[in-house]
Amino acid sequence: MKISMSSLIVSLLLASSAATAAAPLQLMAARSSDLVPSRLQATTPARSAIADLDRQPVSMSWAIDAKQALDARPVPFTRQSREYWSDASADQLQQGFALSTSANGALIRLSPHAGNAQVIDASTLLFRANGRLYTASDAVRSAADQDALRAAGMDVPSGSVVVKLADTLGSGRIELIAPGAAGSYLVHVFEPASKIVMSLRAERDTVLSGEPLRIVTTIEGASLDRVDGLLSAPDGFSQDVSFVRQRDGSYQALVRPDPAHAGGFGLWEIHAFGNAANRTFAVPRDARTAFAVSVASARLSGTIQRPAGLARDSALRLSIGVEAATASRYQLAGTLYGSRSDGSLAPLAVAHSAAWLEAGTAAITLSFDQQTLGESQLRAPYEIRDLRLINQADMSLVERRERAARID
């Protein structure tokens, strides 16, 4: 049987093209900022958490502006505080509850604790400062009750009242006196004009249960003598946090959220509090911030398969391997970057796909439609960035890659 040279060349080219198209890609090496499970954590989600999850796969994509500035690396949120909270009993408030302020015009909020129905009239408040006693008419510039506060969009407990101190009181040590106090109260002091600012930052917005998370707190306008902290889970569990002073004057803590309380909806909260040392007295500062704790119920297996026989100018479909320890519906989301004529990369499209996966190794296909690719001036080589794997049982982020894969 004779085979022409031209037929042989065509056959070899087709075979080579199919083999190349079918060749598996690999995830790029993880970066330090990426969220990557080192091990899987099998869980038993509540039936209600997965009973209503759709079992049918779904996929969608849409174009985005190539000039849009995107950041595939999560930027930690820094909470800044010019405030503090204290608990006060009725006896303390009736005799004079000591407050420390560092600037004029402090805002003081009194909120009854749960079960306390006693409402304090702002006009009855007294203040002791600079060796003399001030009535509310002399010491309060303005006041607002719970109705006014809620109308302004503040979610405050019933019976709350806020007063803004007049400049006649100045700053420093002030005693708050509420003759009609009954039960216990939360006292909140906020100093909008203060130069003493406490900052609190969790180095990640999401951490995997059992993994360490670094918390950093700093102070401006003063120095901190010590910092204590409390870590709280959505289910009510809490644990003490120890902060250690660093050479630069900041304080750091390394927390490990208890895996027994991880999973489910809601954010964990870190609360740091300390005394800022002023020249003559100490001013308390409290700061709170939140982050998510996920259970590593699945992770990317590392392989990416581009289906064989698919024309290069058609839709881009990527079958991305997922290893699951717990059966659930998992979602993949990623941003496709394309190459400009000068070789630089720009955002092109976003794709989301979701599918039900049993425990074991499977794949989810991330698809970018033909129309989106065809209408763009961006071409291959492509790159997948900000690739996220999400467990839809509780919408927890279980893996995130800043730069995931390059597709030639």
- Looking at residue 13, its pLDDT comes to 43
Contact 299, 399 (CB under 8 A): yes
Reading the block at residue 391, the tokens are 């467990």
Contact 229, 200 (CB under 8 A): no
pLDDT digits (tens, 9 = 90+) for 11-23: 444 444 444 444 5
CA–CA dist 317, 374 (Å, integer): 14
Architecture field, domain 83-190: Sandwich (2.60)
Tokens 């059966």 sit at which residue?
327
Reading the block at residue 9, the tokens are 């060349």
Nearest alpha-carbon partner for 258 in 211, 215, 296, 210: 210
Burial class (CB in 10 A: 0-12, 13-18, 19+), 210: middle
**Peptide bond preceding 347: is omega within 30 degrees of 0, i.e. cis?**
no
- Looking at residue 316, its pLDDT comes to 92
Reading the block at residue 203, the tokens are 């180095």
CA–CA dist 372, 250 (Å, integer): 49
- Looking at residue 370, its pLDDT comes to 87
What homologous superfamily does CATH list for 24-74+296-407?
Uncharacterised protein PF16024, DUF4785 (2.60.40.3870)
DSSP 119: P
Give yes or no on whether 24-74+296-407 and 195-294 have one common fold.
yes
- The ranges of the chain with pLDDT < 70 are 1-24, 44-49, 279, 308-314
- Looking at residue 68, its pLDDT comes to 85
pTM here? 0.83
CA–CA dist 350, 63 (Å, integer): 6
CA–CA dist 183, 11 (Å, integer): 88
What homologous superfamily does CATH list for 195-294?
Macroglobulin (MG2) domain (2.60.40.1930)
Contact 373, 352 (CB under 8 A): no
- Looking at residue 9, its pLDDT comes to 43
- Looking at residue 165, its pLDDT comes to 96
Tokens 């070789």 sit at which residue?
343
Map out the domains of the chain as residue ranges.
24-74+296-407, 83-190, 195-294
CA–CA dist 165, 171 (Å, integer): 10
Decide: helix, strand or coil at residue 358: coil
